[in-house]
Structure 1
Amino acid sequence: MHLDHATIVTPDLDAARRFFVDVVGLVDGARPPFRVDGAWLYADGRAVVHLVDATLRAASPNEAGHGRVAPRIDHIAFRVDSRDAWRALIARMDAAGVAYQRADVPLAQQVQLFVALAPGVVIEFVTAAQNASS
């Protein structure tokens, strides 16, 4: 298993994209059509930084808003490269009673599991869809 990517929620998507592309040297690339705007930025052919547009638009600090709190680093993700390792991970989570949400991402041909460790602390595990099939 290795670190796959970091997701950053930002109120200024364009500025964050310019920083990572123009300054850091990442490449703006393909991203699945999620319901919220964002960008996937690549290094060596892999999307290593996922930017997500903050949807929280409260007029004042005392006004409730809807959506993601920003700015923040949303989650870290670990890539699991084999079917056996994926199944072993799920077995360990099930045995420990760890709740997770599964998300299929057909465009990227991958499967994600999200574990909420605490409010605002999310860990993702991702694998190729073929590793997650029965």
Structure 2
Amino acid sequence: MQLDHATIVTADLETARRFFVDVAGLTEGARPRFSIDGYWLYANGRPAIHLIDATVPAVTGRAMPRIDHVAFRLESADEWAALLRRVHAADLPYRLAEVPQMGPQQAGQQLFIALAPGVVIEFVTALRNAHRS
């Protein structure tokens, strides 16, 4: 089993699209005709993020249970360095965290960006890739 896609409902569809295309490096692709506006954004030829235009005003507070964040793994130091360049060029605030090695699992580097209140996007790579950028 593998994750097929994540859907994000947003009142600011264009800002979310620009983030995922310009910063995350996804590509806008084909999307079936639905009655609600949105985008399908692709990674490695597959739709990974579905953006949907919010049709109902947001409720204050955070619903429980909820999905906390969506994470993308970058496999190389070049990919990680390119991501950091795009994040800096977009002047986005972010938070880094290190994941210690656990058994055979390598140490990792995480980068978190709050796309909107309640929507966090994580990028993760092996720690050795992060130190080469």
For normalisation by structure 2, the TM-score amounts to: 0.48
Relative contact order (alpha carbons < 8 A, sep ≥ 6): 1 or 2 greater? 1
Higher strand share: 1
